[in-house]
Amino acid sequence: MGRKTVPRLMSVEELAHYLGLKRQTIYNWLHQGKISGIKIGKVWRFNRKEILRWLKEQRNKNNP
């Protein structure tokens, strides 16, 4: 039986640090619909694989 992996969830702080941005930029992008997240209680979390996929898409848009 295969083992399912749980996706790595990043906090706003972790994502901002990873991207070299301010936390407010992450919140802005989230509310503008540029990135998607999961709200657990009062805290936003981001799936690492989805963020990496989004970054790749952004790179492809900017480098046709």
Q: What pLDDT score was predicted for residue 6?
A: 61
Q: What pLDDT score was predicted for residue 63?
A: 76
> Which one is predicted more confidently, 1 or 55?
55
Cα 30 off chain centre by: 9
The DSSP H or E segment spanning 6 is: none
pLDDT 10s digits, 5-63 = 666 899 999 999 999 999 999 999 999 999 999 999 999 999 999 999 999 998 888 77
Query: Quick one: which of 21, 15, 20 has its CA closest to 52?
Result: 15
For residue 1, is pLDDT > 60?
Answer: no
In this prediction the pTM is 0.80
Overall fold of domain 9-62: Multidrug-efflux Transporter Regulator; Chain: A; Domain 2 (1.10.1660)
Domain ranges for the chain: 9-62
How many other C-beta atoms lie within 10 A of the C-beta of residue 32? 8
State how far the Cα of 38 lies from the Cα of 64, in Å rounded to an integer: 30
